[in-house]
Amino acid sequence: MPRGPVALDRTKLLAARYRAATDRPYLASALYSLTVVPSDAVPTMGVDRHWRCYVSPAFVDATPVPELAGVWIHETAHLLRDHHGRAERLPAADQRDPARVNIAQDCEINDDLLADGLVLPAGGMHPRDFGLDEGRLFEEYLPGIPPRPHHDCGSGAHGRPVPWELDGTGPPAVSAMEAQALRRATAEAMRGHQRARGALPGGWRRWAEEVLEPVVDWRRVLAGAVREAVAWAGGAVDYSYRRPSRRTPAMRGVVLPSLRRPLPRVAIVIDTSGSMGEDDLAAALAEVTGVLREVGVRGNRVSVLACDADVRAVSRVSSAGQVELDGGGGTDMRVGIAAALGARERPQVVIVLTDGFTPWPAEAPSCRLVAALVGDAPPDPPSWVETVRLGPTAGRPS
């Protein structure tokens, strides 16, 4: 006999949350930040980006408390891991396929939950179901996920609106800023738990590390600094008045200001001493020359100076292989900067690749100076030097 709508067994549902929170206390704040919204339209449980948890009363009725506790943690994991935010950064074609995104996200969550000894209801996805390795992020799983029907964990997971969800005027919601604070608090609680007990699933451990010490994409930062410096140097030359081309008949006789943007000259000064690793140097130099090529600064507009205590060589290089690292002790990048600025064709931008253990000029030179610092804890250059820290792992592929 078909059953009518079931009333939500709130006691059972909240007992499951209590159990999840006492078993894994580092998740308690996040678990208790979810607002329960009963819904007959949601197949099992799902979340929206406002940390509202939609719950099917029939599902609660049919599911034992230990499995419900696992689902609570599963749904919380979607929000802690910012799945909806990350889904919005996927290529558009992937975003249009929320079911596959949802499966990939469930794979990212569930391998950890199962390794952690949690029980999940039947049908929970696991990377092994698709012949994929455990311990990856959903973005990595996605290409290996075939199209197939899947239960819906809501817009808090895949980021696409779902019919049963309330709009922004619904019950109490967690703001994006509060969510960020919750992620941090949870990551700190995880770290504390790990220190005290030592046990934390690998996926959560990596997640907490990433939240507490985000890895800055040095390539993007360095590229941005170089691009900006070149644009600045190009724009530093004023508007000049000139007659427009005769081939623009409508403009005949009208003198318009036109922006001449001569490409700047750029000098790259490389520290060949001490702790600059060859890989670090190659990676940093490749990034700088790549960006310069992209913006059209190439050929004789770029000069590379290899520098230790003396400027040993002044050469135009197209690859880092042409730079000889001597690993010697003394470094004085002032010599390299002075040599760069002393060239007949004076550069408007000087980029210094160094471990930072060097004296700097006493005052700002009349050019744009960007220091790209390689290594673990490079000392601070003077405040007028534009500084990009590449960190100790610049050479390793990120």
Measured at CB, which residue is nearest to Zn ion?
A: 153
CB of 86 to Zn ion, least distance (A): 14
Percent of the chain that is helix, strand, coil (3-state, to 5): 45, 15, 45
Whole-angstrom distance, CA of residue 355 vs CA of residue 331: 9
Residues in the chain: 398
**∠ CA(315), CA(317), CA(318), 5° rounding?**
165
CB of 141 to Zn ion, least distance (A): 13
- CA dihedral of 391, 395, 396, 398, whole degrees rounded to 10: 70
Q: Which CB sits closer to Zn ion, 154 or 234?
A: 154
Token reading at 304: 């590379």
Whole-angstrom distance, CA of residue 106 vs CA of residue 77: 9
CB of 68 to Zn ion, least distance (A): 14
Whole-angstrom distance, CA of residue 299 vs CA of residue 57: 69
Q: Which CB sits closer to Zn ion, 106 or 112?
A: 106
CB of 156 to Zn ion, least distance (A): 9
Q: 350 forms bridges with which residues in the sheet?
A: 267, 369
CB of 36 to Zn ion, least distance (A): 17
Token reading at 305: 């100076």
268 and 353 in contact (C-beta within 8 Å)? yes
Q: Which CB sits closer to Zn ion, 121 or 382?
A: 121
Q: Which CB sits closer to Zn ion, 80 or 153?
A: 153
Tell me the CA distances in angstroms from 382 to 92, 332, 345, one per residue in order: 44, 15, 26
Q: Which CB sits closer to Zn ion, 99 or 295?
A: 99
Q: How far apart are the first and last CA of the chain?
A: 58
CB of 157 to Zn ion, least distance (A): 5
Q: Which CB sits closer to Zn ion, 33 or 289?
A: 33
Q: Which CB sits closer to Zn ion, 46 or 381?
A: 46
Q: Which CB sits closer to Zn ion, 123 or 131?
A: 123
CB of 201 to Zn ion, least distance (A): 16
Whole-angstrom distance, CA of residue 337 vs CA of residue 342: 8
43 and 59 in contact (C-beta within 8 Å)? yes
Which secondary-structure segment (H or E) carries 207? Answer: helix 202-212
Query: No. of H helices and E strands in the chain?
Result: 14, 11
- What is the binding site for Zn ion (CB under 5 A)? 106, 153
Q: 267 forms bridges with which residues in the sheet?
A: 303, 350
Q: Which CB sits closer to Zn ion, 106 or 355?
A: 106
CB of 150 to Zn ion, least distance (A): 9
- The SS3 of residue 353 is strand
CB of 161 to Zn ion, least distance (A): 16
